[in-house]
Structure 1
Amino acid sequence: MKLYTLVLAALLLGACASTEELELEPKELEEFAESVTLDDVWSRDVGSGQDARYTRLVPAIYGDTIYAADIEGRVFALDKTNGKIRWEVALEDSVEATGFFSALWSSPKPVPVSAGIGVSSERLLLGSYKGELIALDRNNGELLWRTQLSSEILSEPAETAGVVVATTSDGKLYGLDAETGKEKWMFESVQPVLTLRGTSAPVVMGDTVLAAFDNGKIYAFEAETGLIQWEQRVAIPKGKSELERIVDIDGTPRLAGDLLYVVSYQGRLVAFAASTGRPLWGEDASSVQGPSSDYNQVYIAGAMDKVQAFSSSTGVLQWENTDLLRRELSAPMVWGSYVAVVDLDGYLHLLDRNTGAMAGREQLGAAVRGRLLVDGDLLYVLDNDGELSAWRNKPR
């Protein structure tokens, strides 16, 4: 459930809610002197995009190829330099039929893809609303295996050390054999009574899997066995109501060397030593998106869509931009000298990394729920309508 829908529902249930309390309209965009231009290098239609169930499909890059998928089970491989489609496949559900004539006249339905794309040297990894984890050959899209898990998969799977890992919406983390798709281990977290819709994607570091859950905790697992190497709490639930006590970690943690940055909803932004789990610093913060970082700062789209920058060494707030309040921002992404976000109307905004000042703006086709992707000097954006585009920035 989106933040504003959740907050608005709570306010409407309160008999004493005032008109001022219900004013949650997006802030109007203001003109500014742009210091950078945005050039559309290429754009390509890659299917039907995302649906209304808060899917967060993201593209993935391996070598000179970028991969993308849509809600109807279509998977695309494109040349990352020009957007030319190299291959395309359509994933199909098995036919649900109870008799001979039913089977004869029934046709397969598309797989309702809800998560992906994860990528490794050999495989593409996707998840479905029906809880299927699907592996395709990275070179041609051929189906390698599909495994039924316990619940829908809402964040992209990952692979390391011969193990594919995926989080399900019922708070479980699965480890599957990467060659066969057979389950090797499973971890089940303690789920709160009320959670936001979404899950954090697992992050891999060597033979370690880092995974965060709706209970406000993050764990490190041995990939081969699923044994817990360390666990830490990012946020502690506070308040009397279940609504006040939501501390979901739905954004993907940011791994930078041995530094791990994690942010929760209604909780904290915390830096850990990824190898040991030792907390380095923590600051009050709230976000349903994952952080981004560079050598000096960590960036989040915080409460009410304030874009915030924190010192990566101390956690001290460096700057805060309030020009995009309540505009339902994507997760921020560091791109050269800028921080990029996309809002609910499909505007791509660039903020100066050092000051937080608005630097550039360009209208895209639609809003973006998934993460932005940077490779070299290009920014790749998959919008909610299924348009994949590549962008380059340059100072005016």
Structure 2
Amino acid sequence: MTLIRANLVNLSPVASRLTRLALSAAVVAVLAACGSSKPSPAALESLTPTVRVATQWSHRIGSVEGQQILAARNGQVTAASSDGDIVSFDIASGKERWRAKAGADLTAAVGSDGRYAAVVTQANELLAFDQGKQVWREKLPGRVITAPLVAGERVFIQSVDRSVRAYDVLDGRWLWQYQRPGGEPLALANAGVITAFRDTLLVGQGPRLVGLDPLKGTVRFDVNVGTPRGTNEVERLADLVGPLARVDDEACVRTFQLNVACLELNRGSLRWSRPQAGRMAVAADERIVVGADGADRLTAWKAENGDLLWRVDRFTYRSLSAPAVWGNRVVVGDGKDYLHVLAADDGRTVGRIELDAPLVAAPVVDGDTLLVLTRKGTLYALRAN
């Protein structure tokens, strides 16, 4: 059985403690590997690297728990530690541009457009900063674990109940709220999809990608990315997993434990879909789409039609991170502190670098620079020969 582990949130307001315990038991029974012992991770392959990865610069920002987002905009990258330190660096030089303190532990971080930044605290407060100076805070009605999106002088947040709220970035004024009717009773307690495409806000609503008018919160399109299947609510859980991989007018995304799909965003239509039971986000460029399944088998498909390009099982049960496409290479981190570099055309391993801890954010590519954040809170800017 494919190994997939999930954190779930029960969205029913009348759910009893017994029901929540039963659902937790169902996660163990349905999503964990058959048997009580965890499979051993694959051993590292012998490697004579043909690509050498070097650290351009690195900074320690503080330990990070759970998933985070690296916000890279306008030549700078913004990251946050779990205890509320928020720092922005110049990508080219590594020079610190500004630093801020939230004054509380964070559950969702960090969204930034290069000037403004936003985070959410464990007390469900949304905080906004202008070049490191806090400008406002707002109490939210529910828990948030997906990093806010800052775009178009607005801050957009998505709660674990899948509701989406918009605020004015200048003064914190609440603008609108959207929630798709008839949602599923369970949600994946994992970073969801909330991003921008031109003048449209893209949000995940269970297995559906919804395009919203960012000014009004009205629906522009609603496309089904995958059809859940199973005999119970846990097996039918199929939220879209963030971050979504944007490639010009197209985007590719994972539906939890179900499939990987690519969409045409101008029409709001599904281009192709391939089954793959996984839990981590996918990466894509104009040539390939890459993602790992629940057993950490890494697969690449042709972006144009979804045809299989290659599949490797050298990293099984190594707890792979979300991958990134870095020029003609694919990079992916593992739970043993290594970052692996693969050739994009055939999946052969061409390089490897050891970091100080596993990754806690999807790698981000900015030009020739690869940005990664580890669990110990070290932000690396990497370059390859």
Q: TM-score range by the shorter chain?
A: 0.7 to 0.9
Inter-partner Cα distance in structure 2 for 1:12 and 1:117 = 31
Show the 5 A alignment for 1:17-96.
19=35, 22-47=37-62, 49-51=63-65, 55-92=66-103
Find 1:240's aligned residue among 197, 206, 231: 231
2:373 aligned with 1:358: no
Aligned to 2:148: 157
- Between the aligned partners of 1:233 and 1:63, the Cα distance in structure 2 is 33
Distance 1:181 1:88, change over 3 A: same
Equivalent AA in structure 2 for residue 225 of structure 1:
K
The 3 A distance-change label for structure 1 pair 354 and 166 is same
The 5 Å alignment of 1:128-167 reads 128-138=121-131, 141-167=132-158
Identity of aligned residues (%): 26
Superposition RMSD in Å: 2.3
Aligned length: 365
SS at match of 1:279: strand
Alignment of 1:221 onto 2:235:
no
Displacement, 1:376? 1.6
Between the aligned partners of 1:260 and 1:360, the Cα distance in structure 2 is: 28
Deviation at 1:281, TM superposition (A): 1.4
Q: Secondary structure at the match of 1:356?
A: coil
Are the aligned partners of 1:207 and 1:224 in contact in 2 as well (CA < 8 Å)?
A: no
Task: Flag the 1:64–1:130 CA change in 2: closer, same or farther, 3 A.
Answer: same
- Greater RCO, 1 or 2 (C-alpha within 8 Å, sep 6+): 2
Counterpart for residue 101 of structure 1 = none
Cross-structure match for 1:318 = 309
Shift of 1:119: 1.5
Q: Is the partner of 1:315 in helix, strand or coil?
A: coil
Does 2:383 match 1:382?
Answer: no
In structure 1, what residue type is equivalent to 2:216?
A: T
Say whether the 8 Å CA contact 1:159–1:204 is kept in structure 2: no
Q: In the superposition, relative to structure 1, how do residues 393 and 9 fare at CA in structure 2: closer, same or farther (>3 Å)?
A: farther
Aligned to 1:283: 274
Q: Is the 8 A contact 2:194 2:242 kept in 1?
A: no
CA 1:11–1:376: 2 relative to 1, 3 Å:
closer
Q: Which 10-residue stretch deviates more, 152-161 or 325-334?
A: 152-161
Which residue is 2:196 aligned to? 204
1:13 to 1:318, Cα distance in 2 relative to 1, 3 A: closer
For residues 169-194 of structure 1, give each alpha carbon's deviation from its aligned partner in whole angstroms, at most 9, with x where no partner exists: 12111111222222111112444334
276, 286, 291: which one aligns with 1:295: 286
Q: Bigger radius of gyration, 1 or 2?
A: 1
Q: Is there any run of 5+ residues in structure 1 with no aligned partner, and where? A: 93-110
Q: Over residues 122-160 of structure 1, what are the superposed CA-to-partner deviations in whole Å (9 max), with x where a residue is unaligned?
A: 31121223322221013xx00111122222221222133
Q: What are the ranges of 5 or more consecutive residues in structure 2 without an aligned counterpart? A: 8-23
| Paired residue type of 2:48 | A
Q: Distance in 2 between matches of 1:191 and 1:360?
A: 44
Aligned residue number for residue 16 of structure 2:
none
